[in-house]
Homo-oligomer: A and B are copies of this chain.
């Protein structure tokens, strides 16, 4: 271990740590990415967190307070009172709105000053000022706020999977101490499913996840999706996982085992990655629970909620050594540094999805684009699982690619159809593949 080792040991040549990529990672007021994220409704807390007392929250670098008033309305207000700056987390929830503990300034849900009890009745201060407030709505146990331009507030998005028959939505919230993007882009990185979740240290999900994937990536109207096609015994399983820009993603049934045929089985989890600030984020969304999504009874509804979810590796609750032995998404993502340094990465072929997602985000940020999701209406989404009995072909990889391409194309092209018609179209496409003849383009 001496002499000229410079050909082998590159530690010294590669020791500099450049700055991160603020165009996609800085989220405070006025930053390009922060403004882009504010052009979508963002979930900010669980309905169940709004009880007897106000809730201090921090979203996109802004200190806020959320509460439900006596009439059941939701307020999302600037945390510090407009009068003297005392925090409204110590405020008193009123039949209507909230009042500050210090001098009783009383705010309605929209920041209207209802009363300044220490001022004389003739005071006009209430008319000259409104407290900082953001529009807020509540849906399926999540509270959404609009931190974008108040002159053009779109209706909160409605996803086509919110009212699926036989499905209940279980809200959850997890805090992740790192930048939002390294959490979000994980969902367009299907290879980590095979490695981190299956081959590295044993299965986090069903063992079918360890099967080699044929992969494709395609734009969707609101973002992009990856197409994972696997051989599992006599079955071919095509899963599509969608990112709806700027920061929503949906994936399939958590415990899918590809044991039975199905077509267009919908979402197992809807999840937003909401920045708390540049170095912390929330994973907040719904687990979709239903008998058809969990044939083996592995869902654990009691483990879904504030700070909890019913699958492994999503927090730091295990010991450090156990996390080293069986690392999960949390460990792989958070350990990339508080803000991942893109300039040190080496993206390769298997990172096509991550690269494509960043390109789409960067283009949108630079264009000061409004997310398409802001357009309103019921949004057709593209996450699903289709499992088809299909015997192996001589060139089985080619069969998988062709099958996946056919399913993906049907998923995309059926977007305008009602649910069952869409399922039928996708089912037909899945059953129609037996020979490799074409593929979707990346």
Contacts and interface: CB of A to CB of B under 8 A. Distances in A.
Nearest to A194: B118
The residue in A1, A54, A84 that gathers the most chain B C-beta atoms within 10 A of its C-beta is: A84
B14 A132 contact: yes
Contacts of A83: 345-348
The residue in A11, A90, A325 that gathers the most chain B C-beta atoms within 10 A of its C-beta is: A11
A409 to B, nearest CB: 24
Q: How many copies does the complex hold?
A: 3
B5 A332 contact: no
A75 to B, nearest CB: 11
Nearest to A38: B12
Nearest to A341: B85
Contacts of A335: 80, 85-87, 89-90
A29 B10 contact: no
A422 interface: no
Given A10-B132, A324-B54, A153 B350 contact: no
Contacts of A29: 15-16
A364 interface: no
A111 B12 CA distance: 12
A77 B11 contact: yes
Given A3-B153, A85-B336, A348-B125, A103 B134 contact: no
Nearest to A131: B10
A194 to B, nearest CB: 7
Interface string A2-19: 111110111111111000
Given A101-B327, A324-B89, A111 B10 contact: yes
Given A9-B111, A11-B77, A15-B132, 15 more contacts: A8-B112, A8-B130, A9-B146, A10-B111, A11-B147, A15-B29, A82-B344, A82-B345, A84-B354, A85-B337, A92-B201, A101-B332, A103-B189, A117-B195, A117-B199
10 contacts: A4-B150, A10-B133, A11-B132, A86-B332, A90-B323, A102-B196, A103-B196, A104-B199, A123-B349, A125-B348
Q: Which 10 A-B pairs have the closest CB atoms?
A: A87-B335, A118-B350, A90-B327, A85-B336, A14-B132, A6-B150, A11-B134, A118-B191, A6-B151, A11-B132
Interface of A: 1-6, 8-16, 29, 38, 52-54, 62, 76-78, 80, 82-87, 89-90, 92, 99, 101-104, 110-112, 116-120, 123, 125, 129-137, 146-156, 189, 191-192, 194-196, 199-201, 321, 323-325, 327, 331-333, 335-337, 340-341, 344-351, 354, 376
